[in-house]
């Protein structure tokens, strides 16, 4: 079964609002990564957070990691129409192998 599960499956918000998506996983990890996929494109890496980190920021992105709950969240602040995409978390419970979640489809309405 998938290591990562994302919630919600789909999210629709207005431009300017914040978007929060969550990722839960099952086994211990070394790091967790978030990726974005625009329609018809490959995945683009957004941010990596290591198991000994609790929070990380990159521009309008904020990622948290709670290893005790085996969960992570991605917050996009002040969303823009260009943020419309699918967002995936990936964990590396097994060395050399990243396991991707099912993804959250975000729609930002102008």
CB nearer to another protein: pick between 33 and 72 = 33
Binding to another protein, residues 20-49 (CB under 8 A): 30-31, 33, 35, 37, 40-45, 48
CB nearer to another protein: pick between 7 and 15 = 7
What is the separation of C-alpha 20 from the centre of its chain, rounded to a whole number of angstroms? 9
Task: Tell whether residue 110 is a contact of another protein (CB under 8 A).
Answer: no
**Measured from the CB of residue 84, what is the shortest distance to another protein in angstroms?**
14
**Measured from the CB of residue 95, what is the shortest distance to another protein in angstroms?**
6
**Measured from the CB of residue 10, what is the shortest distance to another protein in angstroms?**
11
* Cα→Cα distances 11→14, 18, 54, Å: 10, 11, 24
| Closest CA relative to residue 76, chosen from 9, 11, 17, 10 | 17
Q: Would you say the C-alpha torsion 74, 45, 89, 33 has a positive or negative sign?
A: negative
CB nearer to another protein: pick between 15 and 53 = 53
Task: Tell whether residue 97 is a contact of another protein (CB under 8 A).
Answer: yes
Does the bond joining 8 to the residue before it have cis omega, within 30 degrees of 0? yes
**Residue 9 near residue 102 (C-beta atoms within 8 A):** yes
């Amino acid at each position: 079964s998938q290591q990562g599960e994302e919630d919600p499956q789909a999210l629709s918000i207005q431009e300017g609002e914040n978007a929060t998506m969550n990722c839960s996983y099952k086994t211990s990890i070394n790091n967790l990564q978030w990726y974005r996929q625009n329609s018809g494109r490959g995945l683009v890496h957004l941010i990596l957070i290591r198991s000994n980190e609790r929070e990380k920021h990159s521009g309008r992105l904020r990622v948290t990691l709670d290893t005790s709950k085996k969960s992570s969240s991605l917050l996009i602040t002040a969303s823009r129409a260009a943020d419309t995409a699918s967002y995936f978390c990936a964990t590396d419970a097994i060395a050399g192998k990243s396991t991707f979640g099912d993804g959250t489809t975000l729609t930002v309405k102008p």
